Amino acid sequence: MKFHVRDIPFSCRGSWFGISPVIAENTVADDLHLVSHQHGMHPVLRFAPAGAATVTATPALLTWDLDDGRIELTYEGPDTVRVRSAGPGMRITAAAGTLTPFSGTYLYRDPVDGGYVFTSYETGRRYRITLLSGEPDQVLGAGSLGAAERGVVLPPGRPWELAIEEYETARAPYRTETGFDQLHRATAAAFTGFADSVAPWRSSRTPAAELAAYVMWSATVDPAALVTRPAVLMSKHWMDKVWSWDHCFNAIALAAGDPQLAWDQFQLPFDHQDASGALPDSITHSEVLHNFVKPPVHGWALQHLRQWLGAPVDRAELSRTYERLARWTRFWLDARRAPGSELPYYTHGNDSGWDNATTFDGGRLVQTADLAAFLVMQLRCLAELAGELGEPAGPWQQTADRIRAAMVNELWTGDRFAARDPHTGALRTGTSLLDLMPIALGAELPEPIAAALVDRLGAHLTEHGPATEPVDSPHYTADGYWRGPIWAPSTVLIEDGLRRAGHIELADEISRRFRALCEKSGFAENFDAETGAGLRDRAYTWTASSYLILAAAHEHRLEGDHDA
C-alpha cells in the first residue's frame, strides 16, 4: 500500500511527530519536514535531498528516489527515526526561522556523544542527529544566534546512515545493534498486526480499509502532558487535537480489534470533565479548552462501543463510566435548560459540532431537535446502565420521556423540526441537515415524523452522500464547512438511525455512497457534496473510523449478522 505524504503524514503509532510537507494549516512546503505536535504543530527539521526526488510512502518506509540512488527513512520507535542513503546527499536543517530568546531552533554539537543537537523553543524538545556511518560535509550554524541557517549537510557520492531522536533534556548516547532493514520489517509487522486486528474482514470489496487503518494507527500518540492516555489525534496535520465528539467514532471503530485503545479513546475527554460535569471542547498536548462543549452523543456511542467490544466491561469501570456519563448529562439538564423548560439549548454552533450550520444563522443560542434527540439517547443509555448496576433507572427514563415529548410538541411544525429561541420562544425553520438529525433516534421517533424526515433527506442526498446543506439552497457553499460539504459523523449517525427506524434500503444506500466516496477521495475532514473532492485536512481520523465502522458493519451483514 502506497500513499502520498501531502495527504497523509508518514508516522507511526505512539509518535508525536510525523514526516510531511504540510507544515501549517493549508501550507505545503517544497520539501518534507519533521513536524512535531508537542505544544502545537511545529515544523522542526527540513529534509532537502541533493537533487530532484520522487517521494514514495508505505506504512513502514519513506523513500526519496533520485538519479544517483535512494534515501530511505523508517521508524525505530515512537521518538526515533533512522535515515540511510545509498549515495545521494541531503541537507537536514532547522525549519524554524530567526533564533531569539523566545523562538527558533538552536544547534550545538554535544561533546559527550558527538551528536548534533537541535533545541526547539516551540516544541520544548531536543532533536539529536547521530551519524552511524559517513561524515557530514558541512555543519551549518552550530552555536549561532539570529537568522543563521543551522543544519547538517550529508554529501553525495558515498553511503551514510543516521538516527534522529526526539527527547526532553538529556539522553544516553545513541547505541544500536539493530539494522535498518530489521527496523523496517518490525514497523511493517506492527502496522499489519494493527490492521489485521481492526479490519480482519478487509478484502477487495473494501479497498480503502488498509489505508483507513494506517490513518488511525499513524495518528495515535503515547500519553504525554495533558493527554492522559494513548490517544488518536484527529490528524497529524493541523487538526492535531481530540475533540469531545470526534473521539466517539474512533472508539467505535477500534472496539472489536483494539478494545483497550478504544476504551481509552472514549474515556479521554472524561478525564478532563470539569466541576459542572461538562466535557472540554478539545484536548491536545498542552491545552485543554472549555470555551465550548460538544453534543452529548456519548450515550449513543457507548452503546455501540459495548456492542463491538470483545468482552464485558469490568463492573468497577462500568460504574465509574456511569457516574461520568451521568455528570455530563446533568450538565445539560442543569446548566443548559431555561427555567421551566424541558429542552436544552446550544449557546453557539460550536457546541453542536456543526460550527457554522445555517440552523444558527438566525441566532446562535437555540433549542434544537438534534440536541434533544442526542440527550434522549444518552438518558436511555444511563437507564440501561443503572439497571445493570442496581441503581434507580426510572428517573432517567422519565426525563427521557419528557424531553422526547417536548421535542415533538414544541419543535415539530407538522412537516419539519424548527429551532427555538429559549428567550422568546420564537420558532424558525431552515434547510440544514442538522434539523434532520433526530432520525438518529431510530424506532423511538414517531413513524410519521421519521417518514417526513426521510422524505426531506432526499433534498440533501447527492451521489456521494448527505450534504449538510442542499446543493440548490441559496446558502450552499461547496467548501463551506457545515454549509454544504459531506461529513463522516452526520453520515454515520443518519445511517444508524435509518437502519434502526426500519429504513434499511436507504441506510444501505447511504453507507454504500459514503464508502465509495472514501475509496475515491480518501479520508478528508469533509468532502465537496457535488464532486466528491476531499476538503480541508486530508488525514482525518473520524473519517477513516467512519469508513471502518460502515465497512465492518456491511461485511458482517454480508456474512449473515443482520444486527450489525
DSSP string computed for 130-175: EEEES--SEEE-TT--BT---EEEEPTTS-EEEEEEEESS--PPP-
Single out the residue of 338, 335, 223, 229 nearest to residue 290, CA to CA: 335
Do the Cβ atoms of 213 and 195 come closer than 8 Å?
Answer: yes
Return left, alpha or beta for 8; rule: phi > 0 is left, psi -120 to 50 is alpha, else beta: beta
Phi, psi for 144 (deg, rounded to 5) = -80, 150
pLDDT of residue 101: 86
pLDDT in tens, 491-536: 999 999 999 999 999 999 999 999 999 999 999 999 999 999 999 9
The count of other CB atoms within 10 Å of the CB of residue 235 is: 29
Average pLDDT over residues 282-303: 98
User: pTM for the whole thing?
Assistant: 0.97
pLDDT exceeds 80 at position 561: no
Cα angle value 413/469/373 (rounded, 5°): 50
Determine the Cα–Cα distance for residues 454 and 548; give it in Å rounded to an integer.
Answer: 25
448 CB neighbour count, 10 Å cutoff: 10
d(CA 139, CA 109): 9
- Rounded Cα–Cα distance for residues 427 and 473 (Å): 20
- CA 61 to CA 2: how far, in whole Å? 10
Q: Which residue has the cell 487503518?
A: 213
Q: Is the pLDDT of residue 562 over 70?
A: no
- The half-sphere exposure of 111 on its side-chain side, counting CA atoms within 13 A, is 1
pLDDT tens-place string over residues 225-255 = 999 999 999 999 999 999 999 999 999 999 9
Q: What pLDDT, in 10s, does the model give residues 392-425?
A: 999 999 999 999 999 999 999 999 999 999 999 9
**What's phi and psi for 375, nearest 5 deg?**
-70, -40
Residue 128, judged by CB atoms within 10 A of its CB (0-12, 13-18, 19+), counts as: buried
- Burial bucket for residue 194 (CB in 10 Å: 0-12, 13-18, 19+): buried
Q: Give the single-character DSSP code of 347.
A: S
Q: What is the pLDDT of residues 306-347, one digit of tens each?
A: 999 989 999 999 999 999 999 999 999 999 999 999 999 999
Cβ pair 523, 562 in contact under 8 A = no
Residue 173 burial by Cβ neighbours in a 10 Å radius (0-12, 13-18, 19+): exposed
Q: Of the candidates 297, 498, 306, 330, which has an alpha carbon nearest to the alpha carbon of residue 384?
A: 306
H or E stretch at 56:
strand 54-58
**By the 8 A CB rule, do 146 and 98 touch?**
yes
What pLDDT is attached to residue 375?
A: 98
Contacts of residue 362, Cβ cutoff 8 Å, sequence gap at least 6: 419, 428, 430
* Type and span of the H or E element at 465: strand 465-466
Q: Which domains does the chain have, with CATH numbers?
A: 17-169 (no CATH), 190-558 (1.50.10.10)
Calpha distance 53→55 (Å, rounded): 6
Please tell me the distance from the alpha carbon of residue 242 to that of residue 160, in angstroms, as a whole number.
39
Phi, psi of 346 (to 5 degrees): -90, 150
96 — pLDDT class (breaks 50, 70, 90)? confident
Quick count: other Cβ atoms within 10 Å of Cβ 260?
Answer: 11
Q: Bin 502: left if φ > 0, else alpha if -120 < ψ < 50, else beta.
A: left
Give pLDDT tens digits for 146-160: 999 999 999 999 999
Quick one: pLDDT at residue 564?
Answer: 65
Whole-number Å distance between alpha carbons of 322 and 378: 11
Q: Among candidates 378, 431, 425, which has minimal Cα distance to 403?
A: 378
Instruction: Please write the tens of the pLDDT for every residue from 49-94.
Output: 999 999 999 999 999 999 999 999 999 999 999 999 999 999 999 9
Residue 469's closest CA among 500, 435, 426?
A: 435
Q: Torsions phi, psi of 51, nearest 5?
A: 140, 170
Q: Where are the beta strands (DSSP E) in 235-387?
A: 242-243, 282-284, 287-289
State the chain's mean pLDDT as an integer: 97
Set of cell numbers at residue 104: 527558533
Query: To the nearest whole percent, how much of the chain has pLDDT over 70?
Result: 99
Q: In this model, does residue 113 exceed pLDDT 60?
A: yes
Check residue 102 and give its pLDDT.
Answer: 87
Quote the CA–CA distance of 195 and 265 in Å, as a whole number. Answer: 18
pLDDT at position 563 over 70: no
SS3 state of residue 366: strand
Q: Which residues contact 14 (CB under 8 A, 6 or more apart)?
A: 77, 78, 220, 221, 222, 230
Cβ-based burial of 557 (10 A; exposed 0-12, middle 13-18, buried ≥19): middle
Position 171 scores a pLDDT of 95
- Our CA angle for 514, 293, 485, nearest 5°, is 25
Inform me whether the pLDDT recorded for 98 exceeds 90: no
The residue type of 14 is: G
